[in-house]
Structure 1
């Protein structure tokens, strides 16, 4: 058992070690100006400096709060809309072109209009994140729900279940995996949209830190901001995976 744990740990660490070695190799290769690529140890030193002197934790908290709030609000709307579109074919036929039209629009392109209609305060940033989370979540939801086999419903009806019991005991459990998948996808898209949302006059946050650093060509700060976004997004995704595994354990038992 301990050997398996060590093996899994080594397999998990191997890509990160490889990425760091590749980072050093590119910097020392001479193909790129070394001054344009701060070394990993320099980025680590800058991270410690920002953490201890520049209140990096506040930037992490502000950005995480914006992302979580935008994703929660987006998914709360995307789940019923996605379920409606996935379960009722006429609704999907009616709304699918418009959903895909808005999904294809990059959030950064909407910033001028968001500023006009919502100003430059916190609401504007949440609107951008809500937009990104909603349209990514609703696509996952209705694609997943539309593929639910009607066999389970026919079996429930054969066993005498009424419409409410079918919805509560069959449809909702079958929808939970798609809700969790939509949440994970929306979370990733929201983190990818964070920098765009914080273009709107943000004073704090990782995206604002990256934008300010780019103005003064502080490449090590930019690297710190990018790595922080990736690490926090990864941690949140791992947490969601653990929650999904616990909530969906009944599916594994049913398949075994």
Structure 2
């Protein structure tokens, strides 16, 4: 009787924690850890700035330089150019990767035809294609968007394909036993089960897109965050370089959090640790 009386209390006490795990909401302790991590990172930056490294700027000079770039409109102009390239290439890459990944996972003949080429191009870094893309497509926006598209596409298509082939066959067979056809099985079982894989691939592809756009702008661009870093390098303008790095990291983090929010909304049925 004593054991039976204490079990409900334990279950009730653990319910809020389970609810937070399923919803993905951070606990107060997790928020405190995140704030503490940010504070430690800032302190480490200040320590490096005072460690004697020649020219290494601290947070205040970087903040002041960022304010100057905001005041004359340069920062927003460069950020807009980079964002336009990233979003265009990324959107095209994901839009093509998801259906191709589904087709590869669902139809064995498509997998045999496409996968060797996919694995071949995965071994070629998108950064190595930038010079070739510039030679073939010119120095306009097209080669930059193309290499961003390639980076996002390769990350997303592999994750989508892996999501389809990783679907539990028991679920598929159960749906077929209940009378579901291929279309119902695909839409009702395969697509929901593959969604977490797709969103993980989208997050990886987003990071690859940002890395690629900066590299492309370092080589051939007249605007953008990467271009501004390359110009600052010529004049050993470290505060300007740090401003671009901070902006890239902050914007990329915000975009990643948006994808993570979408993942939690679309995969709320999953049990989370």
**Same fold at TM > 0.5:** yes
- Say which is worse superposed, 54-63 or 74-83, in terms of deviation: 54-63
Task: Give how far 1:71 is off.
Answer: 0.9
Task: Give how far 1:131 is off.
Answer: 0.9
Root-mean-square deviation (Å): 2.1
Does the aligned pair in 2 maintain the 1:78–1:135 contact within 8 Å? yes
1:110 aligns with 2:120: no
Larger Rg: 1 or 2?
Answer: 2
Flag the 1:213–1:69 CA change in 2: closer, same or farther, 3 A: same
Does the aligned pair in 2 maintain the 1:210–1:221 contact within 8 Å? yes
Counterpart selection for 1:69 from 76, 88, 91:
88
Measured against aligned partners, the alpha-carbon deviations of 1:173-209 in whole angstroms (never above 9, x if no partner) come to 2222222222111111101112112235322211111
1:22 aligns with 2:41: no
- Alpha-carbon distance in structure 2 between the residues aligned to 1:150 and 1:5: 36
SS in 1 for 2:222: coil
Q: Displaced runs of 4+ in structure 1, greater than 6 A?
A: none
Task: Give how far 1:215 is off.
Answer: 1.7
Aligned residues: 248
- Alpha-carbon distance in structure 2 between the residues aligned to 1:131 and 1:27: 38
SS in 2 for 1:251: coil
Does the aligned pair in 2 maintain the 1:66–1:126 contact within 8 Å? yes
The 5 Å alignment of 1:162-201 reads 162-201=181-220
Q: Which residues of structure 2 form unaligned runs of 5+?
A: 1-15, 17-25
Q: Which residues of structure 1 form unaligned runs of 5+?
A: none
TM-score normalized with structure 2 length? 0.84
Q: Which residue of 2 aligns with 1:96?
A: 115
TM-score normalized with structure 1 length? 0.89
